[in-house]
Structure 1
Amino acid sequence: MAGVEQQLQDGVLSLTLQRPDKKNALNQQMYQQLADALKQAAEDDQVKVVLLQGQDDCFTAGNDLQDFIDGGELNQQHPTVRFLYQLAEFPKPIVAAVAGLAIGIGTTALLHCELVYATADTRFQLPFTKLGLCPEAASSLLLPQLIGYHRACEYLLLAEPFDGVAAERMGLVNRLLPHDELLAFAGQKARQLAAMPTQAIQSSKRLLKANQQEALHYTLREELNEFQQLLQSDACQQAVQQFFQKK
């Protein structure tokens, strides 16, 4: 059954995207599951670390575009918005294992993770402008902070794809692994974190992120407002229509 598979073991909550027939494209049901899982994990003392992953050949193709367009206004109850805020505010470490496709939210979500492992041939892309849209998930703040303004413009304005080698070079990815080692390695690192003193890890994450929290929330709000307006634009409607015709 398509959705998000949850498994808690050794203090690590694994959230596995399971929609292989759609290349793990996220629909509203999956966003709801992710948001609920993160909310519960934040409050559950048994959960020390979250591991976000797909399969060793696909992370996620991004939003299920038709489902997203049919999903209504981007208010605080919208599953996608709930997920973005839960992700941005999550107090515990998040480890990500990324392979195959990491499109849209598949890339922007990584900006909120503490450790990211990928394969060299992973395809990252932020295709928002090609769809007549703007950045999401506070990527307009976090990506320039990580890789510099001009490089961020290359990916957020031109929407050019890049591979795992480039992602590691720019600091988006901690380490590249072969496909058959990726999930096991990421899981081992997640368990390593989970075995460390809990309060020390969570305090360290809070301190590392403290100076950006106010700007992060402001950017999330501004991006969502712009995104909602752009969804109604002729340019977006035409781009979406062309997307489905191409499919």
Structure 2
Amino acid sequence: MPVSGEAAEAAPRDATVLHALDGGVSWITLNRPEAMNAVTWDQRERIIALLTDASADPAVRAVVLTATGRGFCAGADLRGAPAQARERAPGDVARTIRLGAQRLIAAVLDCEKPVIAAVNGTAAGIGAHLAFACDLVLAADTAKFIEVFVRRGLVPDGGGAYLLPRLVGPQRAKELMFFGDALTAADAERMGLVNRTVPDGELAALAAAWAGRLAAGPTRAVALTKQLVNASLDGDRAAAFAAEAAAQEINMTTRDANEGVASYVERRPPTYEGR
């Protein structure tokens, strides 16, 4: 999977998050294998910035989020957080979660390009939620997913109690969160948390293939579809139908929508530009 290239970031400060743009795909790679890619404050901010940039950059048409080593992301590493200047006051914890873990997950959910998680190893805590927030989840057969919070006496953060019930239903979500047992990639696929499980050596190729298909597709239509699906469980039918009609109105102003219709009429393959 690309971790370098013409557009790769090479500055030392970015060494823990590798970035490359390859064929319209933005590859974001966590690179702290010695820490199982437990995400630091700096890494979190870098990922959020790259996802924000991906939304605004027409050259980016899909995103892959992955990692080096044996871990996808072992959770939050708070040792890299800015030092607290005063004694903790009421509201500080909620603010920290809102501006930290929740911002990271929201950046994935709100990214205007499809985001694929290529889970190469253990995804625990916020690392699991980072994967589950992605639009498509691919996993190596050696990967594991762990709702580790209960093991530490903590309440799940990073949108876990929002994401999991929507993916597997409330009973399964409670089972995962109440016990904190490790879930194999095969079981995660069976439950609907993972789209495909493949041997470790095939993960990068599958991620590249799926991302390549997305990058060749009608980018704005995919973005609007993502928005509709993500919002579908939060509103009633009237709101969903209104959002669908609005999305259709917006999409029909794009070049790709007109190209798709024209190619059908002319009986030829479409050529999408992401505009």
Tell whether the 8 Å contact from 2:54 to 2:112 is kept in structure 1 after alignment: no
Tell whether the 8 Å contact from 1:38 to 1:86 is kept in structure 2 after alignment: yes
Please say which of residues 72-81 and 38-47 is displaced more in the overlay: 72-81
Answering whether residue 74 of structure 2 is matched by residue 66 of structure 1, we say no
Structure 1 or 2: larger helix share? Answer: 1
Q: Decide whether aligned partners of structure 1 residues 213 and 39 sit closer, same or farther in structure 2, where only a CA change above 3 A counts.
A: farther
User: What RMSD, in angstroms, separates the aligned Cα atoms of the two structures?
Assistant: 2.3
Q: Secondary structure at the match of 1:143?
A: helix
Answering whether residue 44 of structure 2 is matched by residue 5 of structure 1, we say no
Structure 2 match to 1:197? 218
Tell whether the 8 Å contact from 1:99 to 1:122 is kept in structure 2 after alignment: yes
Counterparts of 1:147 and 1:178, CA distance in 2: 24
Counterparts of 1:207 and 1:17, CA distance in 2: 29
Structure 1 unmatched runs, 5+:
215-247
Tell whether the 8 Å contact from 1:56 to 1:183 is kept in structure 2 after alignment: no
Higher relative contact order (CA 8 A, sep 6+): 1
Tell whether the 8 Å contact from 2:101 to 2:157 is kept in structure 1 after alignment: no
Deviation at 1:83, TM superposition (A): 1.9
Deviation at 1:135, TM superposition (A): 1.6
Structure 2 match to 1:19? 32
- Select which of 104, 109, 132 maps to 2:125: 104
Structure 2 unmatched runs, 5+:
1-11, 86-91, 236-275
* Number of aligned positions between the proteins: 215
Of all paired residues, the percent bearing the same amino acid is: 35
For residues 13-54 of structure 1, the C-alpha deviation after alignment (integer angstroms, 9 at most, x for no partner) is: 000000111111111010010011111111111111110001
Answering whether residue 176 of structure 2 is matched by residue 163 of structure 1, we say no
Amino acid at match of 1:5: L
Q: Decide whether aligned partners of structure 1 residues 76 and 126 sit closer, same or farther in structure 2, where only a CA change above 3 A counts.
A: closer
Superposed counterparts of 1:109-120, under 5 Å: 109-120=130-141
Q: Decide whether aligned partners of structure 1 residues 88 and 201 sit closer, same or farther in structure 2, where only a CA change above 3 A counts.
A: closer
Larger Rg: 2
Structure 2 match to 1:124? 145
Q: Secondary structure at the match of 1:95?
A: strand
Answering whether residue 67 of structure 2 is matched by residue 46 of structure 1, we say no
Amino acid at match of 1:21: E
Deviation at 1:81, TM superposition (A): 4.1
Deviation at 1:126, TM superposition (A): 0.9
Q: Provide TM-score, normalisation by structure 2.
A: 0.72
Q: Provide TM-score, normalisation by structure 1.
A: 0.79
Deviation at 1:77, TM superposition (A): 8.4
Deviation at 1:102, TM superposition (A): 0.7
